[in-house]
Amino acid sequence: MQTKEDSTLNNKSTNEVDTLNKKPSQSSGDISDCYWKILNRDTFVLHLQQSNGILSGKLTFNNFEKDKSSGKVHGKVEGDLVKLWYDFQSEGMQSVMEVYFKRKNNQLLRGFGPVEMKGDSSYFKDHAKIEFNEDQTFENVPCTSLPLKYQ
């Protein structure tokens, strides 16, 4: 069921969304901030904190009329790659998933590739085969500009 906040967000003009996305480039390699992607009626939000090269935060996949998931992330930055482990709950089940992003300016491009399962964890079968899709670009936004349910 779509909430009032989702409806408001989905009805924002392109200019309003563009204004949210405009932010100066981050310097010194620190990627602490919020990132989001709106794809049709799905919303994906990533909060990251970076300290001494270690990343932590939370990731939410708010899929319209599908299973939603939300949980903690931890990982590291290696060059232009953001390597995360996503520990989340979905449908009452606890799972872990390896998630990679590639830094591009103020954006993070989500990586996809062949995965394997071991117990409750999914991980990339071959890191060399991960592809970073422009269609899965998470925009850098100020955390305070996100709808309240994602802050």
Span 120-127, average pLDDT: 96
Q: CA angle at residue 34 from 29 to 38, to 5 degrees?
A: 125
Q: Residue 76 and residue 131: Cα distance in Å, rounded?
A: 19
**pTM: predicted TM-score of the whole model, two decimal places:** 0.78
Q: Residue 108 and residue 132: Cα distance in Å, rounded?
A: 9
Each residue's pLDDT tens digit, 9-54: 444 433 334 434 434 334 347 899 999 999 889 999 999 999 988 9
Closest CA to 60 of 75, 73, 74, 76: 73
Report the mean per-residue pLDDT for the chain.
84
pLDDT of residue 135: 87
